A = this chain, B = another copy of it.
Amino acid sequence: MMDRVPVLKLGDILIVSIQIDLQDQSVLALQEDLADQVVATGARGVIIDITAVEIVDSFIGRMLATIAAISRMLDAETVVVGMRPAVAITLVELGLSLGGVRTALNLEKGVALLNHLDGAQIVTAAQ
């Protein structure tokens, strides 16, 4: 199984959970799938969950920045959620910035951030 990273849709938001070790091929596929889905669904926000990612190198960092840039061009904001403390430390130590990618602690805070950015309610989570 597992050729492509699935893109989930909830209201105006697309959710991607990165779990597999991404190779060049699958990164390109994910960027394409996300761009297609943003256009097809008219999504206003993209949330990328990296809870499962233990090591962020420049390759992953670039991918996140590229996805954010593509989405922005298609009128959707990107928020990266679930960054582990160790990953944040590594990023800073390596001097890697995420190129203007917004981050939030977890999925709920990411959704709240997108709602705030968009001005309108996209998805509301009660309690």
A residues near B (Cβ < 8 Å) are 1-6, 8-12, 15, 17, 19-21, 49, 51-55, 82, 106-108, 111, 120-127
- Which residues of the partner chain B approach A53 to less than 8 Å between Cβ atoms? 1-2
- Contact partner, A6, options B12, B49, B126, Cβ 8 Å: B49
- Contact partner, A126, options B15, B122, B127, Cβ 8 Å: B122
- Contact partner, A107, options B10, B12, B124, Cβ 8 Å: B10
User: Does B82 lie within 8 Å of A11, measured CB to CB?
Assistant: no
- Contact partner, A21, options B2, B17, B120, Cβ 8 Å: B2
User: Does B126 lie within 8 Å of A126, measured CB to CB?
Assistant: no
User: Does B125 lie within 8 Å of A126, measured CB to CB?
Assistant: no
Chain A to chain B contacts (Cβ below 8 Å), 25 pairs: A1-B52, A1-B54, A1-B55, A2-B53, A4-B52, A5-B52, A6-B51, A8-B51, A8-B82, A8-B106, A8-B107, A9-B106, A9-B107, A10-B10, A10-B111, A10-B125, A11-B125, A15-B15, A15-B107, A17-B17, A20-B20, A120-B126, A121-B126, A122-B125, A123-B124
Closest partner residue, chain B, to A1 (CB atom): B54
Closest partner residue, chain B, to A54 (CB atom): B1
A19 to chain B, nearest CB (A): 4
